[in-house]
Chains A and B, each alone.
Chain A
């Protein structure tokens, strides 16, 4: 009985953190039932992750922007525009892909720094400054694609980013038809996670901090391992891990590390929590604003590359409404509009929730109109849940 009691207590205390994981699980379970299992099929999950990619990287950057109490509306068309620039560089200027991609990423950083200049130096509200950016980049993308229309990208390496999968190790006779490198990666991920968790628990116990009761701790390890293992198995049954998923994983892991472990991350959350106090603690709010918008610009470029690569072309409408999807993903993932609160991992889950809704409802043959209604309701519900649990926690 104490196990159930423990479980209930832990769940109540951490309902905010676990809430969205549970929501994602419930949504996936519902769609799996309503689509007779098509939703959870290898092919669909693989597609779902690839579709989430270009929104997820934006949501990661947007998390930091919202944490420091700003917003960036320009990222959608910036992504579209920079995707087009990448296409032009490769198709018309004949740049090799390994030059074009760093060039576009650098352009993204530059664009972000310009936004930061307006916000931090000129004190223009981010909403207004980035709304101007929204118009400008929309104009820019139309301008560069005006004469050519859609630009088809023939570069196979570039297109692999959005459509390709990691190679497999040579066939060794066991598990035919299963992507073995994916399995190995998944398994190593699980092992690393477990070792990390156990170490962390030991350290906390050494300081007499409160840790999860042992049975709940084991339950958590089992659940997360099962989740990662399950996804790995599903993916391995198709073509394995896609390059998009690899890119997103790297971005999320790097940003998660920066935000949770580094001085820079601390400074970002301090500014979000109380900008005046942060400034008087010797943190340059301006400098951090440049860093955060610069990173947002770079991730916009990355999003543009992922999208152009996925379509194997640059189109005049690329990037439309990406910014709102990214903002919605961040809020669903628990980022607070008041600043100072929000995790990168949460925003990834938020993006997965929103994209799962789209994917699942598409599979069910639900029209676009009800889809918007449902997604809007889920966004509102997520924020209501967040606000309600937050005020109770006080």
Chain B
């Protein structure tokens, strides 16, 4: 191992009631790509926040050595000055500003008192070339896809002469192509002497790119593994992350003879007046009783738009086509109608449009079906507590009580609350949009078990997922969506990752 550029020694950080980091030590060698893995709540993000000065010196105990010197960052500005840049899951760009304005935001190139725009644009172009992003520097950030926005973020970090780049789940929102592109870029940066720390849940990527992997669990360093020595493999990582062996991450499912058709969508299209073209066209598919149907496809292929428009929330699109639920023709003008007809939709992003984080578990669980626990418009609080506790038990939601605010729960438990809310609606068709995004391995398995149980009880599930192993592991049938069309349908016996990717990219 070469000289460490970063050494964090015996870091302990406590929140009221919780020890988020317990005597963690962490070393990164200069010029390497170092992955940090662990379940949600293991302390990865907290550790990075300590490093970047979000939690300033004095709020934690322990020592940070960066570039050979002891550092006492009082804030993000200090760590930036030292050459550390963090790129968060939620991108920190200003959507209404141009790419070049964003890249130099906060450290504008000046010419006296004024901003030197010509120099800015020229330098922005160089930075974009470095990250191999081919866009007009004058384009507005909001017009770029998530993958490209991420690259702009990296360009922004590079423009500050960064020595240590930290990426927090950089590929969580990216499709396979963009992810691959990003990983290549990281290798490239490494060759130019930039050290990288990457936090990721996608173990395949970690194995692909990491030279060293540090595993955190419950606020402690579990181990540091050396990839060139062959210490890193998926099984080993999972074993260290959860502290136990998971030999099969998907529950065993019997692909039974499916029942009658519950949901049928015919000639479905959605016209976007803003773009002046169809975002969805000629979509036909069916879902049968007791089936899990996977909707695979790249990010931006129209899967979420399809689900939302079926659910009665067309979001400004003009919809044509027919839906029938259990043989009855339906038209949903509002999610309320869809819920009434037995269709439920668990959103992709539970924080932004799934849950009400400032309200408690019970209020979130009953929200979509308050009428079931009320008489003449008055809510029966006792019934509510009872229902909430039932779901707490049956879904194994880990919370001290159902009166806990949802914002205080971990990602996996939030997702379970979200599921509970929609199960309480007692739907026939459950649409799950990225049901396991950003949650840890243990919670993922629990969600899969719940899904299996639900279809055995006769529900049918549409699962939108970007993770191909998940699609293959859980579905009975797979539809592949590409550019707003159904590009193909595969029974599970015939489906492979390669076939799906082939159809999705066509």
> Does B336 contact A273, Cβ atoms closer than 8 Å?
no
A256-296 contact mask (Cβ, 8 Å, vs B): 1 or 0 = 00000111101101100110111111111000000000000
Chain B interface residue count: which class? 35 or more
Q: Interface SS of chain B: helix, strand, loop or mixed?
A: helix
- Whether A93 sits at the interface, judged by CB under 8 Å, is no
- Tell me if B367 and A263 are in contact (CB < 8 A): no
Contact B403 A276 (CB under 8 A): no
A194 close to chain B: CB less than 8 A: no
Interface residues of B in 363-406 (CB under 8 A from A): 363, 367-368, 370-371, 374, 377-379, 381-382, 385, 401, 403
How many Å lie between the Cα of A263 and that of B381 in the bound state? Answer: 11
For the complex formed, measure the closest distance between the CB of A281 and the CB atoms of chain B, giving whole angstroms: 4
Q: Mark A25-37, 1 if CB is under 8 A from B, else 0.
A: 0000000000000
Q: Which of B38-46, B295-303, B349-357 contacts A (4 or more CB under 8 A)?
A: B349-357
Which chain A residues lie closer than 8 Å to B382 at the CB level? 203, 207
User: With an 8 A cutoff between CB atoms, is A216 at the interface?
Assistant: no
Please name all residues of chain A whose beta carbon is closer than 8 Å to the beta carbon of B354 when the two chains form the complex: 277, 280
With A279-B335, A281-B367 known as contacts, the answer to whether A209 contacts B347 (CB < 8 A) is no
A365 to chain B, nearest CB (A): 45
From A209, A261, A277, A282, give the contact of B336 (CB < 8 A).
A282
The answer, among A203, A210, A261, A277, for a CB contact under 8 Å with B356, is A277
Chain B neighbourhood of A261, CB < 8 A: 378-379, 381
Contact A274 B356 (CB under 8 A): yes
**Which residue in chain A gives the minimum CB-CB distance to B375?**
A263
Shortest C-beta distance, A263 to chain B (Å), equals 5
Question: Cβ of B347: which chain A residues have Cβ within 8 Å of it?
Answer: 277, 280
Are A278 and B345 neighbours in the complex by a CB distance under 8 Å?
no
A73 to chain B, nearest CB (A): 26
Instruction: Name B357's contact: one of A203, A264, A274 (CB within 8 Å).
Output: A274
The CA of A278 and the CA of B354, in the complex, are separated in Å by: 8
In the complex, A273 Cα to B407 Cα: how many Å?
11
Q: State in angstroms the CA–CA spacing of A203 and B381 once bound together.
A: 10
| Chain A residue at minimum C-beta to C-beta distance from B356 | A273
In the docked arrangement, what's the CA distance between A261 and B352, Å?
Answer: 26
Q: Which B residue's beta carbon lies closest to that of A390?
A: B358
A209/B401 in contact, CB under 8 A: yes
Residues of A within 8 A of B345 (CB): 280
A340 at the interface (CB under 8 A from B): yes
* A262: contacting residue among B334, B357, B363, B377, CB under 8 A: B377
Is A282 in contact with B368, judged by CB distance below 8 angstroms?
Answer: yes
B421 touches A270 (CB 8 A): no
| Interface pair B334/A270, CB less than 8 Å apart | no
Q: How far is the CA of A276 from the CA of B349 in the complex (A)?
A: 11
**Interface: A249 (CB within 8 A):** no
Our pick among A203, A262, A277, A279 for the contact of B379 (Cβ within 8 Å) is: A262
Binding site for B on A (CB under 8 A): 203, 207, 209-210, 261-264, 266-267, 269-270, 273-274, 276-284, 340-341, 394
Apart from A262-B378, A277-B353: 14 A-B pairs, beta carbons within 8 A = A203-B381, A207-B382, A207-B385, A261-B378, A262-B377, A263-B378, A263-B379, A269-B359, A270-B359, A273-B356, A277-B356, A277-B367, A280-B353, A394-B408
| Subset of 23 A-B contacts with CB under 8 Å | A261-B379, A261-B381, A262-B377, A262-B379, A263-B374, A263-B379, A266-B379, A269-B359, A273-B356, A273-B357, A273-B358, A274-B353, A274-B356, A277-B347, A277-B353, A278-B356, A280-B345, A281-B335, A281-B368, A281-B421, A282-B339, A284-B336, A394-B408
